[in-house]
Structure 1
Amino acid sequence: MADSTNTAEVAHDLFPFLRMFKDGRVERYMGVDTVPPSLDPKTSVESKDVVISLETGQSARIYLPTKLQSPNPNKKLPLLVYFHGGGFCFETAFSPTYHNYLNTLVSESRVVAVSVEYRRAPEDPLPAAYDDSWTALKWVASHSNGNGPEDWLNRLADLGNVCFAGDSAGGNIAYHMGMRYGQENLEGVEVSGIVLIHPYFWGSEAIGSEAKESVKSSLMEKLWRFAYPKTSGCDDAWINPVADPNIAGLGCSRVLVCVGGKDLLRDRGWLYYEKLKESGWRGVVEIMESKDEDHIFHLIKPTSENAEAMLKKIVSFINQDKA
């Protein structure tokens, strides 16, 4: 925590996540550690880092299950594109938290995964994270003819069976990538489903438990305005998808929304689920609530009973189209 001298110079106080000082310095208190790619002995999942944009230096971590156990060795694996959380401001695709989670998810679902790194606020405010995420998807699409820059995707990834997923702010990103995909499409890529884990959605009017959690609710709004200074507010479609008249334009046929029973964002997840069902969107949306669990509990206590139940549900959803 900053001392009293630094506190007097604070420009934006988003503790316990981060503080930004008037001299432009940013102190992050969460999600600052990183780990290298590896061959994980517990899951037998191999990973490596790749640069996907020379212009920005953007990178990603790719995961591959080494024990494929496929009856047809020539059959390619579904591709999962994952967007990490962290309020658009902290955490990274290379943190121990996400590295361990992707190892487990890839091992259980038997997919190739691309975990996307994107620029973060405040150094690079939104929409930089959205732009980077779309750049990553275009990079993925460059492998559709088997002659892209990454061998693992060329040889082993089925770009006709792609799933987007993300948690918290990453869930918000996954949703918006699905919306952009519905508008622009990506030649050679077929998105089958999207998994939104405790998605960071918000709105100007309090719903459900939000009114009783004024301090946490205020932090959610402050975090959004900090990450996206040019936003029109909390009913901006970037943070409030039910305010988007084009909500039915989602470019996939299946959506899974996961919420935590004690998560402040729970009611926003349920609202999105209900509004998407009513929108005229021609797909199937499911929701799973983890009773008595808080925000991103599955990352904090991954071996808990509820975390394992959610993992099983996500794996089943990802593999639904896997013949």
Structure 2
Amino acid sequence: MTTEAATTAAAPPYEVDECRGVLRVYSDGSIVRSDKPSFNIPVEDDGSVLWKDAVFDPVHNLQLRLYKPACPTSSSKLPIFYYIHGGGFCIGSRAWPNCQNYCFKLAKELQAVIISPDYRLAPENRLPAAIDDGFLAVKWLQSQAVAEEPDEWLTVVADFGSVFISGDSAGGNIAHNLAVKLGAGSPELAPVKVKGYVLLAPFFGGTVLTKFEAEGPKDAFLNWELIDRFWRLSKPDGETTDHPLINPFGPASPNLEELELDPILVVCGGSDLLKDRAEDYTNKLKTWGKKIEYVEFEGQQHGFFTIDPNSTPSKKLMTIIKDFITEFSV
């Protein structure tokens, strides 16, 4: 072996991808994940919301975090609201402080049981792993509804007939794909009944860039370079971003025009590079007669509601979500 060849062979692997400081992918295929979240903020647990974890997939040791108001304002059973975290399918966790703090606020403000599931992350587990795990998380709720010895911490307060599935960014993508899979009324989940979906800045893609993806602010919180990296690391091997799980209107995507869907609320910030896709998604489904509404918050970045949950736009969003639940929970 020549000296040059020996030097090359001994060269250490180098970093080829990095996501928010918590995921690093190296040239030899190795992956390093940090135990620290990318949002280094304190957990704001004042005792007004009770919470605990439960395993919903023992095969992959996946857990979900349950929240409920410590002192509900009503004696009636509470609606159930899934909050599926974001992170481009590559990072994030139910246990990250920003996720937990937002779930505290959701439980208290919505007066609801909040269920926040984890899911397998890419690139170790590319799509459809996350979608499959989202489905298992709602099937877990069905198992509680029919169990002979259910978890009374949940069942005493939860209304299994009034379930809403929400997701933030990648979680919004999961929520959409669950809506398509379950269809109106979610018959395969009986006696659990989904009443609606809330897609918060849903993470959709496509091989043709939208106008705002191409021309939007380069310094956006979720910039194009990071969007592209997330898709490159999470899309199924050999596929493009027109894959049906990524692009709802791709060439191989199911025809949503003929599909009956539960009501959907779509939310996006006006400075979010994903806003064109969210608005286009809404307009197409509305044209096909679906009950769907789009709300855009001027000047707001991707994930504004968890980054600053006490801001005026975030508080307004909470009211909009609460009204949506009230309208469709009956």
Please classify the TM superposition score into its range, dividing by the shorter chain length. 0.7 to 0.9
Q: Which residue does 2:61 correspond to in 1?
A: 57
Q: CA deviation at 1:194?
A: 0.3
Q: 2:37 aligns with which of 31, 34, 40?
A: 31
Q: Which residue does 1:181 correspond to in 2?
A: 182
Q: Which residue does 2:318 correspond to in 1?
A: 311
Q: Which residue does 2:295 correspond to in 1?
A: 288
Distance change in 2, residues 1:110/1:226 (3 Å):
same
Residues 80-99 of structure 1: per-residue CA shift (max 9 Å, x gap): 11110011111101111011
The 8 Å contact of residues 35 and 99 in structure 1, kept in 2 or not, is answered as: no
For normalisation by structure 2, the TM-score amounts to: 0.85
Range with greater deviation from structure 2 (157-166 or 27-36): 27-36
For normalisation by structure 1, the TM-score amounts to: 0.87
Paired amino acid for 1:65: P
User: What SS does the corresponding residue of 1:242 show, helix, strand or coil?
Assistant: coil
Q: Which residue does 1:12 correspond to in 2?
A: 17
Q: 1:191 aligns with which of 185, 191, 194?
A: 194
1:48 matched to 2:55: no
1:265 matched to 2:274: yes
Paired amino acid for 2:16: A
State the alpha-carbon separation in 1 of the partners of residues 259 and 167 from structure 2. 16
Q: Aligned-residue CA RMSD in angstroms?
A: 2.8
Distance change in 2, residues 1:90/1:253 (3 Å):
same
Distance change in 2, residues 1:208/1:17 (3 Å):
farther
Unaligned stretches of 5+ residues in structure 1: 1-5
Paired amino acid for 1:154: T
State the alpha-carbon separation in 1 of the partners of residues 118 and 319 from structure 2. 25
The 8 Å contact of residues 10 and 21 in structure 1, kept in 2 or not, is answered as: yes
Q: CA deviation at 1:141?
A: 0.6
Q: Which residue does 2:90 correspond to in 1?
A: 89
1:206 matched to 2:209: yes
Q: CA deviation at 1:143?
A: 2.1
Q: CA deviation at 1:173?
A: 0.7
The 8 Å contact of residues 13 and 27 in structure 2, kept in 1 or not, is answered as: no
Q: Which residue does 2:8 correspond to in 1?
A: none
State the alpha-carbon separation in 2 of the partners of residues 45 and 173 from structure 1. 26
Q: CA deviation at 1:67?
A: 1.4
Q: CA deviation at 1:34?
A: 9.1
Q: Which residue does 2:5 correspond to in 1?
A: none
State the alpha-carbon separation in 2 of the partners of residues 169 and 21 from structure 1. 24
Q: CA deviation at 1:129?
A: 1.2
**Aligned residues, how many?**
311
Structure with greater Cα Rg:
2
Distance change in 2, residues 1:33/1:13 (3 Å):
closer
Q: Which residue does 1:112 correspond to in 2?
A: 113
Paired amino acid for 2:14: E
Distance change in 2, residues 1:66/1:238 (3 Å):
same
Q: Which residue does 2:254 correspond to in 1?
A: 245
**1:202-241 mapped onto 2 (5 Å cutoff):** 202-213=205-216, 216-230=223-237, 232-241=239-248
Distance change in 2, residues 1:110/1:210 (3 Å):
same
Paired amino acid for 1:25: I
